[in-house]
Homo-oligomer: A and B are copies of this chain.
Amino acid sequence: MFADRLRRVQERVQAALDEALATDPDLPVIQAMRYALRGGKRLRALLVLEGARLHDIPEDEAMPAAAAVEALHAYSLVHDDLPCMDDDDLRRGQPTVHVKWDEATAVLAGDALQTLAFELCCDPVLGARRIDLVAALAQAAGARGMVLGQALDIAAESADQPLDMDQITRLQAAKTGALIEFSAIAGAILAGADDRPLRDYARAIGLAFQIADDLLDVQGDPAKAGKKLGKDAAAGKATFVSLLGVDGARQRAEELVEHAIAALAPYGQRADNLREAARFVISRET
């Protein structure tokens, strides 16, 4: 069962993250890091571990990479929630870091979570190719990945007209797609294997993930989502839903999931968990 697999990943990744911060001093910034690392779907970690399994890498030997993507993801959320960014008070049903502590602690905790992600990728258990993993993570995180996406998002807010389909696709491919892609190909990188099928898979589910997010924003249950919804419409922001309509967006997401599943053909049945993950991406309620 996919749900059982995901729950098991959640437990194991949480244990790895707890251990990474276990010896650190008891300062507010460390508490804030631990707080920001709790919860979450751990979809990215699952992609890392399943991508590794396809390349015969045991779970223990991929775990630091799975923990690293979750640390990098947590950093991006803490900074995106800041008052000067999206100004969000609620995340995963709890007050955001700058609300629970203060802005200085949130900036610093985010900074340290990014550093932690790179530190985790240096764990010798990941093997001789971990330097390639660091390089790929830096690509996904930097000014051609997540930072580019966030910068395009900020620029869009002060633009005269809403983004078109190409512009939104480019923005989201950078903002959320780059880290999802990194997660899916991490195992192939560590194994020195061809990463093209997993890259193809990841690009499709990354986009489907964002379309599902846009659908949640207009149709979701805030109690289940654990965050404020309807924000994009209120801000007059262009989204996949505003451009394609609810039905068009759902259909596009389903097509992308089918494309992603087809891309996994070279791996046969061993990729069934990744197939389930693709379906999960558009069925989730959080």
Q: Which residues of A contact B (CB under 8 A)?
A: 21, 24-25, 27-30, 33, 75, 79, 82, 84-85, 102-105, 107-108, 110-112, 114-116, 118-119, 121-122, 130-131, 134-135, 137-139, 141-144, 147-148, 150-152, 154-155
Distance between A117 CB and nearest chain B CB, rounded to angstroms: 9
Please, which residues of chain B bring their CB within 8 A of the CB of A103?
84
**Given A85-B104, A107-B82, A138-B119; A33-B131 close (CB under 8 Å):** no
The 4 A-B pairs with the shortest beta carbon distances in the complex, nearest first, are A84-B103, A119-B138, A122-B135, A115-B142
* B144 and A24 contact, CB distance less than 8 A: yes
A29-B151, A104-B154 known, 10 other contacts, Cβ within 8 Å: A27-B151, A27-B152, A79-B108, A79-B111, A82-B107, A112-B147, A114-B114, A119-B135, A119-B142, A131-B134
Interface of A is mostly: helix
* A29 and B111 contact, CB distance less than 8 A: no
* B108 and A107 contact, CB distance less than 8 A: no
Contact of A131 among B21, B131, B143 (CB under 8 A): B131
**Given A85-B104, A134-B131; A143-B118 close (CB under 8 Å):** no
Please, which residues of chain B bring their CB within 8 A of the CB of A121?
134
5 CB contacts below 8 A, A to B, read A25-B143, A28-B151, A29-B143, A79-B111, A121-B134
Please, which residues of chain B bring their CB within 8 A of the CB of A108?
79, 147, 150-151, 154
Please, which residues of chain B bring their CB within 8 A of the CB of A29?
143, 147-148, 151
**Given A122-B138, A141-B115, A143-B115; A79-B107 close (CB under 8 Å):** yes
Distance between A100 CB and nearest chain B CB, rounded to angstroms: 15
* A142 and B154 contact, CB distance less than 8 A: no
Please, which residues of chain B bring their CB within 8 A of the CB of A102?
84
Please, which residues of chain B bring their CB within 8 A of the CB of A119?
135, 138-139, 142
Distance between A272 CB and nearest chain B CB, rounded to angstroms: 34
Please, which residues of chain B bring their CB within 8 A of the CB of A116?
138, 142-143
Contact of A33 among B25, B138, B143, B150 (CB under 8 A): B143
* A138 and B115 contact, CB distance less than 8 A: yes
Q: Quick one: closest B residue to A150, CB to CB?
A: B108
Distance between A140 CB and nearest chain B CB, rounded to angstroms: 9
